[in-house]
Amino acid sequence: MSGYNLAVQNMLKLFPADPDASFVWFIGGLDFAALDFGFKNMDDGAEGDESGLCKVFSGPTPHDMILVQREPIAEGGMQTVTLAGIGDTVYVQIILNGIPRTGIIKWKLLI
């Protein structure tokens, strides 16, 4: 994962102002070439519930990533739209309230 350290650095800056901020702790593939993200709260590790829309950026390379979706966290998670075809490799990043919650993730859509 590229940019992981920067994502963690930005989240740590956010923590004093918003200890209930959420971070991505789980990433899984779904059977329609989409991804499932699980969130937890930074302060207590409870199910993520930060308000706002997650911006999902995706593309075939890190330089070609574009905004593909805006989605709120619901019940501690969110699912992306279909990102590409099965067997394709995509790069994905989640940004919530202006702060990256992941680095740039490289994922092969196998299912």
| pLDDT band for position 88 (cuts 50, 70, 90) | very high
In the chain, the number of structural domains is 1
Two tokens, residue 104 = 């740039």
- Domain containing 75: what range? 4-108
pLDDT in tens, 42-60: 888 899 998 899 999 999 9
CA distance 7 to 85: 27
- Given a cut of 60, is residue 1 above it in pLDDT? no
Please check the confidence at residue 74 and state whether its pLDDT lies above 60: yes
* Mean pLDDT, rounded, for 33-43: 91
* CATH number of the domain encompassing residue 43: 2.60.40
Parallel, antiparallel, or unpaired for β 89-96 and 105-108? Answer: antiparallel
CA distance 12 to 42: 9
